[in-house]
Amino acid sequence: MFQLNVRGLSCQRAENILFSGISFALEGGAWLHVKGRNGAGKSTLLRTLAGLVRPASGVVTFSGRLGPAVRRVLCGHQAAVKRELSAEENLRVGIPGDSPASAAQVQAALTKVGLGKAASVPARYLSEGQKRRLVLARLLLQCADLWLLDEPVNGLDSDGVELLGLFLREHLANGGAAVVTSHQPLPVAVGKSLAL
């Protein structure tokens, strides 16, 4: 059973401590809702879990069945989309290293998020909301174990949020875990929560 445990985590930004003594455990199938005021370090916590930021102190370990590296994915404030590439190309080659998806899988993911018709439209012509949906489609294709979502609701309209809830529930159902920061409530069963 996949498990993420964090013990005594503390992070710094430019010499001042953001948070310290954060400890929690998260198994497959559960999600953690991180709350806190602006500047409390929610994003830094997610980036630390993603392996981008080196914590000032504390330990982040992944145990369980997941082979050498836990496949984690981070959705930050920016929708990581290349303007020159079309929606479909963004999913196929936009991020080198994603698990290679066939054209059919890409098309299926696009239709699932309601961008089926916009597959060949260069991403520069997509609205901010559509770009957010493209990020959701990528989430499906990456089939990662740990989702690290930073304010995923931003930029999504009401049925976009519904989609997010649906995907999150599916992800948790087949054993994935998620750490989510969000001000608005999410249409998912209330999981653990952590206040920074």
User: Residue numbers of the site for other proteins (CB under 8 A)?
Assistant: 12-16, 50-54, 69, 71-74, 76-85, 89, 93-98, 100
Three-state DSSP class for 155?
A: coil
Between 68 and 104, name the residue whose CB sits nearer to other proteins: 68
* Distance in angstroms (rounded) separating the CA atoms of residues 140 and 114: 13
CB 143 to other proteins: min, Å:
12
CB 87 within 8 A of CB 123: yes
CB 185 to other proteins: min, Å:
26
Which of 52, 3, 7 is closest to 30 using CA atoms? 3
CB 11 to other proteins: min, Å:
11
Residue 57 CB contacts under 8 Å (≥ 6 apart), including other chains: 8, 9, 10, 20
CA distances from 89 to 16, 58, 94, 115 (A): 42, 39, 6, 13
Q: Residue 52 is which amino acid?
A: L
Angle at alpha carbon of residue 50, lines to 46 and 24, rounded to 5°:
60
Which of 16, 22, 58 is closest to 42 using CA atoms? 22
